[in-house]
Structures are given as structure tokens and as C-alpha cells.
Amino acid sequence: MVHLLSPTGKSIRSDPAGDGHYGSKRGDRIHLGTDFICTPGQTVHSPAKATVLRVSYPYKGDVNYSGIFLDAGWCYIKIFYFEPFVGKGVELYRGQPMGIAQDISLKYPGQGMVPHVHLELSRFSNNPELYTISGG
């Protein structure tokens, strides 16, 4: 079994702005990732052994929030709302530091959103919770 590491070492968020579990309802859409609580400025770690494919920006035209797209071999992993200090082609080990958490709650003021890092898988099952997620 594959064991993913929580990129923040913390649990999944649930707050007035929404539930951070995979498959949670977000209005008329479904949340396709898992949101891990973070403290803005904390170190974000790689959830698995993977290679950085590219630095990504989750909001078109907004470079205030970033993340990376990883190839773990068995799946692709998108992780958002952190400033990466690794770039394309870097090979990461599970638990290796890869960036600094941003405060996504600032983009949605007044909604009670807890700062978090978003993790999403593609290829095979998209649900990160099907894999063992450990805090450290």
C-alpha cells in the first residue's frame, strides 16, 4: 500500500467555508482533493517520492498563490497554496521540505476559511484518503 504523508503534518480542515475531505460538496461541484490545515509560513513537505514536473498557479491571472505538479510514478500529485523552493526536474523524497505555506484564507476574507494546503491526485483514484495519510 502507498502511504502519503500529510504535507503539513496536520489534519484535514473543516470550517465554515467548507469541508476539506475529498468528495465534499462545494456548491454545485465536488471537492476533488484533500485540504490539510497549515500555519502560514510553515514548511510544506513532499507527501511521496516524486519528481517535480512544474510549478503551478491554481488561479488564472493570480500569481499570489502557487504550488507544484508532481509525478510519483503511480499517480500525479497537485499541491497548492505554498511557495515552492524546488523547481522542475527536482526529485523529492517522502517528507522532504519543498516550500513554505501561503495563507489562502486571505483570498476569501470573512468566510472563516482555515489556512490549508490542497492536495489532489490524478490517474487511478483521485481520492487521497484511499491511501494511508500520516501526519509525520
- What separation, in Å, do the N-terminal and C-terminal C-alpha atoms of the chain show? 17
- Which amino acid appears at position 86 of this protein? V
Q: Global pTM?
A: 0.87
pLDDT tier at 122, thresholds 50, 70, 90: confident
C-alpha cell at 33: 482533493
Which superfamily does 3-129 belong to?
Glucose Permease (Domain IIA) (2.70.70.10)
Distance CA 79, CA 121 (A): 9
**In this structure, are residues 39 and 101 in contact, taking their beta carbons and an 8 Å threshold?**
yes
Say what the pLDDT of residue 36 is.
97
Say what the pLDDT of residue 26 is.
82
Residues 12-42: tens digit of each pLDDT: 999 998 899 998 988 899 989 999 999 999 9
